[in-house]
Amino acid sequence: MAIYRVLILSAFLALLVFSSLSPARSEESGADVVEESAVLTLDASNFSETVAKYPFILVEFYASWSKRCETFAPVYEKAAAILRKHDPPVVLAKVDGDDETNKEIASKYDVTSFPTLIILRNQGKNIQEYDGPIEAEGKIVEYLKKQAGPASVEIKSSEDVGTLIEGKKIFIVAVFPDYSRGEFKNFIAVAEKLRADYDFGHTLDAKHLPHGDLTVSGPVVRLFKPFDELFVDFQDFHVDALEDFIKTASVPKVTILDRDPRKRPFVIKFFDLPDAKAMLFLNFGNEDFDAFKSKYYEVAEHYEGKNISFLIADLNATKRAFEDGSLTPFKKAEPIPEVNNEPVKVVVADSLNDMVFESGKNVLLEFYIPWCGFCKELKPILEEVAVSFQNDDDVVIAKMDGSKNDIPHELNVLGYPTIYFSSASGKLVRYEGLRTKGDFIDFIRQNKDAIIQDATVQKDTTVESESLKDEL
Ligand SMILES: *[C@@H]1O[C@H](CO)[C@@H](O)[C@H](O)[C@H]1NC(C)=O
Ligand SMILES: *[C@@H]1O[C@H](CO)[C@@H](O)[C@H](O)[C@H]1NC(C)=O
Ligand SMILES: *[C@@H]1O[C@H](CO)[C@@H](O)[C@H](O)[C@H]1NC(C)=O
């Protein structure tokens, strides 16, 4: 009996030693934990090989300090969990786009803000920006299912058409006598290429369609539009001709910019056209509006085919369109100053990264606007602070004019002055202390890091910087 006990004990000990010493085991259990997330985590080491595995993958580029990414994360996770069971597979992944090692991937996909979502199809060969909803997992799932499905859906009944052609979008339907022809192949090829911008369908029976000659047997392409003549037919099935037709026929005679978000895609297209542009801004509520509008349409008709695009905009709506981000406004940025030798350095939109976040220095940065009273009060104080650090090359006091330079959303600057401190190792904290010379100096002394000499220092402080960034 005693022998047995010893044997059992030593076997048990061996097991303990094995499990605690074996690195393979502990790594395995670490991977198990990660796998519980339905969202794949990718980085530079495995991005390409993972993307190459899937016909359809959505990649989120996020930054750990971004509040919007933080809010989005649980929604994305839920969507991924639902879509994991979808057939064919719809894979959701994420990449820390702010991490130094992933910068190359982020720049390949032109990521300039977080979160940015990119759809990669066909083993990563086709790239499409995700412009669907991001506020609720149900909507994301619905959008992605459609994106992952066929580029053109078959219309078998008038009911199919009812839900597909809702009257506010461009919808392109081709009628065929059968699906075995070259025309059908070309049509599908064009649908694949333009699927991000338009909706496509095909049918064997024109009588399911809402307008136009319902007796045609095809092949014919009918483009439905929510404006002007409401539909156009086209019969040339060469890929290039078809593509040109769709692009031209889907531009309204006069593009309307008002409060209706469903009109935004047309506005974006208007600005993308290489044509000369005529734009009329007026108040749609004004009593003269109808008279102006019909004259304007006449002018537009007069110039049809002359490479001039026309837009009419509701003054009330234009401001909001730019605010909610559906239109890209011109980036506000002052030129980088040639001389910058005052104690408080001038930072502009285009020098923000170089002079602050990636400078490797400890920078106290004030966002101000010229007409703000508190900013005026702060000006001489910051100058004194700057002077007192003038002999310390590691510390920079800087300011940026928020009325002339766009400030990254992530900094969440909602009022002026807003003051941030970015340490040499990249820690970023909002300054919430008293605005006296003494308080600033104490704060900087306590929070500044030694100047970065090599990459090892940077690595060691990453974790800490992440948790501080979270406080933003
Ligand atoms: C990619 O590599 C990272 C570590 O570099 C790992 O955390 C992640 O799980 C990997 N993802 C996949 C899908 O293999
Ligand atoms: C335009 O906006 C102003 C202020 O918000 C409002 O009073 C006015 O009714 C709006 N006009 C129209 C036509 O919507
Ligand atoms: C309009 O633009 C197209 C393509 O850029 C060009 O071929 C055509 O000659 C232009 N037409 C006029 C009237 O300028």
Given a cut of 80, whether residue 432 has pLDDT beyond it is: yes
Beta bridge partners of 400: 367
In the chain, the percentage of residues whose pLDDT exceeds 70 is 84
Which residue has better confidence, 172 or 416?
172
Whether 306 is in the pocket of ligand 3, judged by its Cβ within 6 Å, is yes
Please give all residues whose beta carbon lies within 6 A of any atom in ligand 1, as ranges. 34, 40-43, 45-46, 50
**Residues near 114 by beta carbon (within 8 Å), at least 6 away in sequence:** 61, 62, 63, 66, 68, 69, 97, 98, 410
pLDDT of res. 57: 95
Which of 199-208, 262-271, 294-303, 436-445 bottoms out in mean pLDDT, i.e. has the lowest? 262-271
Mean pLDDT of all residues in 211-230: 90
Mean pLDDT of all residues in 215-226: 92
pLDDT of res. 191: 94
pLDDT of res. 166: 63
Residue 429 phi, psi dihedral angles, 5° rounding: -135, 145
Which residue has better confidence, 7 or 307?
307
User: For 388-429, what is each residue's pLDDT tens digit?
Assistant: 999 999 999 999 998 888 888 888 887 889 999 999 988 899
Which residue has better confidence, 35 or 243?
243
Superfamily, domain 150-249 = Glutaredoxin (3.40.30.10)
**Residues near 308 by beta carbon (within 8 Å), at least 6 away in sequence:** 275, 276, 277, 278
Instruction: Give me the architecture of the 40-147 domain, per CATH.
Output: 3-Layer(aba) Sandwich (3.40)
* pTM of the model as a whole: 0.54
Cβ–Cβ under 8 Å, residues 223 and 231: yes
3-state secondary structure 166-210: CCCCCEEEEECCCCCCHHHHHHHHHHHHHCCCCEEEEECCHHHCC
| Band (74; pLDDT cuts 50, 70, 90) | very high
pLDDT of res. 453: 53
284 CA to middle of ligand 2, Å? Answer: 9
User: For 343-391, what is each residue's pLDDT tens digit?
Assistant: 999 999 989 999 999 899 999 999 998 877 888 899 999 999 999 999 9
Nearest CA owner, ligand 3 atom 13: 306
Which of 27-31, 127-131, 362-366, 430-434 bottoms out in mean pLDDT, i.e. has the lowest? 27-31
Mean pLDDT of all residues in 32-47: 82
Dist. CA 113–CA 8, nearest whole Å: 60
pLDDT of res. 463: 34
Dist. CA 245–CA 260, nearest whole Å: 26
Residue 424 phi, psi dihedral angles, 5° rounding: -55, -35
In the chain, the percentage of residues whose pLDDT exceeds 90 is 43
| Band (438; pLDDT cuts 50, 70, 90) | very high
Amino acid residing at 265: P
Whether 304 is in the pocket of ligand 3, judged by its Cβ within 6 Å, is no
Cβ–Cβ under 8 Å, residues 55 and 123: yes
Q: Are strands 199-203 and 152-154 parallel, antiparallel or unpaired?
A: parallel
358 CA to middle of ligand 1, Å? Answer: 26
Q: What is the dihedral of CA 289, 290, 295, 299, to 10 degrees?
A: 80
Q: Average model confidence (pLDDT) for the chain?
A: 82
Cβ–Cβ under 8 Å, residues 280 and 313: yes
Mean pLDDT of all residues in 181-200: 91
| Band (320; pLDDT cuts 50, 70, 90) | low
Cα three-residue angle 326-328-333, rounded to 5 degrees: 145
Which ligand has the minimum distance to the alpha carbon of residue 286? 2
User: What is the CATH number assigned to the segment(s) 345-469?
Assistant: 3.40.30.10
Give the ligand 2 atom nearest the CA of 314: 13
Whether 316 is in the pocket of ligand 2, judged by its Cβ within 6 Å, is yes
Amino acid residing at 186: N
